Chain A
């Protein structure tokens, strides 16, 4: 088999089962691809020996007919996931050298299903960012380029994951999504990314950013691959009090079910000033595709949409300011010595956290502090209820919502932004789903005139990922998105 990297996950599983390829060959090809595209800086640690050993085990299980759902498939892991015996730093200096003696539930599920770990993927520091530019390892690069060949961000925070899947240096990758950190980079890199319903994937062993919003999910090349990986990732976990016991639907089967008879809502508030015209055009195109496939398109209103972003930027930093208090130089990670305990804390945290993380900790500390709690945090949680109520009302009449994934395509690395708020606006279409705990998927729908991918987002009812896959499957087929990025392993197809 010459084009190992060209196989999507479903096809690779098939080829492995037919013994047309071996897991070791596949892992070797991906490790080579990762080396070849090292310039994209999407891996922060490549675990070659580990990958080859796991692949060899996969080959044995395939030979003995014990193949798991993801048997032999090479997977990259966002550095936010703790992986036993492998450096896990959340791309922060404060966790430099941290090697967890435990494995996150999600990654444990993937390995139990036969997945092969390639290494750890770059991300924004503690997942705080929309361009993968806050990483202590430097920015990951988007394999796609515009006509001017300028380096573009892969999006964030799961930028390394999206970049690696797009560049074919990982067949599958894990991400986490707190305000759009899976869906936005998936859109920027032309891949499929799902943020499951809050509680669907265990948060145990994932470095926490904002606990009430964080959710792990899969990055894949195709919708079918995504449903496959998601099926292996999800589980009820007694170690996570917010983990759901709701049974998982048949996601793999849902991909080809079509949308005939489905009611798809189009929220009129998902527009904003300065939004790309091409984004609006693609959105309209997406509506037409679904209508053609037999869905009924219905205009809906989510009146509190514009308040989701400011509410998010209170709630997420508030939780983060508390979640990140444990990085204090006492038990693991970086320590900067000082005479006093407080001096040690202050020096360690000043040196260990980057600017964006410090800024968010400061905001979070402020909005929770005495005298401001009601005005900020409590107000935001009330607005959060209103946002959820908007969705609840919409889902009385529709089965899913179709929106743009992002207001624009990927932007250049190092774009100088003085106002941090401008950066926050990247998340404007993705944040509401996190606040309401809903599942959302981003599917590549087309490219801009500059040749950069754009994504469509589908949002659904809690624990109804199946409907997302039905809609996403139709969009994928209609879009026929076959373009590949310039900086892809093995060269452009």
Chain B
């Protein structure tokens, strides 16, 4: 599998990273280098092997249904680039 300019542009769009047109080609080459190397995994027979997502071996711990957090507007907004009357503010979204 190898990626072309169009695919790189699509990935960049999915990742919300602005990539200038002139960078698409070199990026595609870099990504292909990595992807070709990764393709080494194809040598491994993984038939009937369960994927391993978590190594801890224990089950998900659960907490009680108690309100222990919130009411900390100052903390929540302390680093905000743009805020107004307790809200985060972003460029207008059209649905």
State the A residues within 8 Å of B (CB).
Answer: 97-99, 101-102, 198-199, 212, 238, 241-242, 244-245, 304, 306-307, 310-311, 313-314, 321, 325, 328-335, 337-347, 349-350, 353, 358-359, 361-363, 365-366, 369, 372, 375-376, 378-386, 388, 419-421, 435-437, 462
Q: Which residues of A contact B74 (CB under 8 A)?
A: 101
User: Closest Cβ of chain B: how far from A199's Cβ, in Å?
Assistant: 5
Q: Is there contact, CB below 8 Å, between A437 and B11?
A: no
> Which 6 pairs from chain A and chain B are nearest by CB?
A437-B55, A381-B51, A332-B79, A385-B52, A346-B18, A382-B46
B residues 28-70 in Cβ contact with A at 8 Å: 30-31, 33-35, 37-44, 46, 49-58, 60-61, 63
Interface residues of B (CB under 8 A from A): 1, 3, 7-8, 11-19, 27, 30-31, 33-35, 37-44, 46, 49-58, 60-61, 63, 72, 74-76, 78-82, 88, 90-93
Give the CA-CA distance A381 to B12 in the complex, in Å: 24
Expressed in whole angstroms, the minimum distance between the Cβ of A204 and any Cβ of chain B is 13
* Chain A residue at minimal CB-CB distance from B10: A369
Contacts of B44 in A (CB 8 A): 304, 307, 379, 382-383, 386
What residues of A have a CB within 8 angstroms of the CB of B75 in the complex? Answer: 101-102
Bound: A339/B58 CA distance, A: 47
Q: When the two chains form the complex, which single residue of A310, A344, A359, A419 contacts B41, counting CB atoms closer than 8 Å?
A: A310
Q: Give the shortest distance, in Å, between A357 (CB) and chain B (any CB).
A: 10
List, sorted by A's number, 27 A–B pairs whose CB atoms are closer than 8 Å: A102-B75, A198-B56, A212-B53, A241-B60, A244-B58, A307-B40, A307-B43, A310-B37, A313-B34, A328-B16, A331-B79, A331-B81, A331-B88, A333-B81, A341-B90, A345-B16, A346-B16, A359-B27, A362-B12, A380-B41, A381-B51, A383-B41, A383-B46, A420-B33, A421-B33, A435-B55, A462-B55
Q: Which one of B11, B12, B44, B88 has the highest number of Cβ atoms from chain A below 10 Å of its Cβ?
A: B44
Residues of A within 8 A of B15 (CB): 321, 349, 361-362, 365
Contact (Cβ within 8 A) B27 A362: yes
Chain A binding surface, main DSSP class: helix
What is the distance, in angstroms, from A351's C-beta to the closest C-beta of chain B? 8
Contacts A333-B79, A346-B13, A365-B11 known; 19 new A-B pairs at CB < 8 A: A99-B78, A101-B72, A238-B63, A310-B38, A321-B15, A335-B82, A343-B91, A349-B16, A362-B17, A362-B31, A363-B31, A363-B34, A363-B35, A369-B11, A376-B38, A379-B42, A386-B44, A386-B46, A462-B55
